[in-house]
Amino acid sequence: MSTLAINPPALGGTRYKEVKSAILAALSAGEWKGGECIPSEKRLAERFGVSIGTLRKAIDELCAENILIRHQGLGTFVSMHQRDRHFFRFFRIVRRDGDKAYPVVTLIDFRKARASREVAAALGIETGARVFQFVNGLALHGKTVLIEHITVPEAHFPGLTETKLRNRPNTLYNFYQDVFGINVVETDERVSVALANDIESEQLGVEVSAPLLEIRRIAYSYHRNAVELRVSRLNTAEYEYIGARPGRDEEK
C-alpha cells in the first residue's frame, strides 16, 4: 500500500487542502482505481493525522469536482467514466432544436509524431517529445458535423495503436480510463472561428476555407496533469456548441 502522507499541520484553514492534495496523489499513483471504494473516513483521518471534520471537508471538495462520489450506505467511490452519466458533461454539441444525440465516431487518421512547440506547451511536455495524433469524424443524426484533431503524449499512452483505438468498445475517455488508467476529471475549452482545411471540407461537405466553429480543449487528469489536446471543428449549419455553465455542468 502507498505510504503517501501530508506535511505537518498548517496554520489557518488550509489543512484540508493538504489532505485533498494527498488523496489526489494517491489517486495519481493508482492506489484506488475508478469505481473502487476508498477507505473509510476514520481510516483516512488516522492515516493523514487529521480530524474527521478536516478529512470530510477535503472529500466534500473532491465530490463537488466529480472526482469522488458518495453512495449512501456504501461508502465513497472513485468516479469513473460511464457513457450515460458522463458523456454529455464533456460533449456539448447539440442540434439547434436542442436535441442531444450520441455521435457515431469514425477514425480518419492515426500517426506517431513529435510535439511541436505549441503542442508541447499545451500538454506540458518537451518540444519534440513523442506523441500520438489522430483525427475523428463525428456524425450526428446520420451526418458528419464535427472533426476532431487529437494529440496525446506517448508517455501517458504507451502501446496505443490504430487498431486499439479503432476497436475500442466505449467512449474515448472510457478507453483512456480502462486501458491506460487515465481518468479525465477536468477540461479547459476555448472557442474561436477557423477556416476549413481539405480534410474538413471533404468530411463535412463544406468549401475549403468555409468558416467553422473551433473548440480547443485541454483535458486534465488529477493534479491538472494535461493528458490530451483536442481541436474540434464544427459545421454550425444545423448544430451549435453549448458551453459549460458554472454550478450546472452536471453529469447526465
Tell whether 102 is covered by a domain. Answer: yes
Tell whether 224 is covered by a domain. Answer: yes
pLDDT score at 214: 98
Q: At 249, is the pLDDT very low, low, confident or very high (cuts 50, 70, 90)?
A: very low
Which three cell numbers mark 161? 495503436
Average pLDDT of the chain is: 87
pLDDT score at 127: 98
**Last-in-domain residue among 78, 95, 116:** 78
Tell whether 252 is covered by a domain. Answer: no
Same domain, 64 and 188: no
Which three cell numbers mark 201? 471540407
pLDDT score at 216: 97
Question: Is it the case that residue 28 has pLDDT exceeding 80?
Answer: no
Same domain, 111 and 214: yes
Same domain, 60 and 146: no
Same domain, 206 and 123: yes
Q: When comparing pLDDT for 23 and 9, which is higher?
A: 23
pLDDT score at 9: 44
Q: What is the CATH number of the domain that holds 66?
A: 1.10.10.10
Q: What percent of the chain has pLDDT over 90?
A: 57
Question: In whole angstroms, what is the distance from residue 105 CA to residue 149 CA?
Answer: 13
Among 34-38, 91-95, 164-168, the least confident range: 34-38
Same domain, 26 and 100: no
Question: In whole angstroms, what is the distance from residue 170 CA to residue 115 CA?
Answer: 27
Which three cell numbers mark 102? 450520441
- What is the model's pTM? 0.76
pLDDT score at 82: 57
Same domain, 214 and 111: yes
**Last-in-domain residue among 50, 78, 106:** 78
Q: Could you read off the pLDDT of 128-157 as tens digits, one per residue?
A: 999 999 999 999 999 999 999 999 999 999
Q: Could you read off the pLDDT of 187-242 as tens digits, one per residue?
A: 999 999 999 999 999 999 999 999 999 999 999 999 899 999 999 999 999 999 98
Question: Is it the case that residue 167 has pLDDT exceeding 90?
Answer: yes
Question: Is it the case that residue 178 has pLDDT exceeding 50?
Answer: yes
pLDDT score at 57: 92
Number of domains in the chain: 2
Tell whether 197 is covered by a domain. Answer: yes
Let me know: does 97 contact 113? Beta carbons within 8 Å: no
Q: At 245, is the pLDDT very low, low, confident or very high (cuts 50, 70, 90)?
A: low
Same domain, 150 and 227: yes
What residue type is 251 in one-letter code? E
Residue with cell 494527498: 22
Tell whether 74 is covered by a domain. Answer: yes
pLDDT score at 5: 47
Same domain, 74 and 95: no
Same domain, 64 and 131: no
Same domain, 118 and 169: yes
Nearest CA-CA partner of 156 in 142, 176, 137, 140:
176
Question: In whole angstroms, what is the distance from residue 162 CA to residue 36 CA?
Answer: 30
Question: Is it the case that residue 7 has pLDDT exceeding 60?
Answer: no
Q: Which range of residues forms the domain containing residue 228?
A: 83-241
Question: Is it the case that residue 86 has pLDDT exceeding 70?
Answer: no
Task: Give the residue-averaged pLDDT of 16-33.
Answer: 85
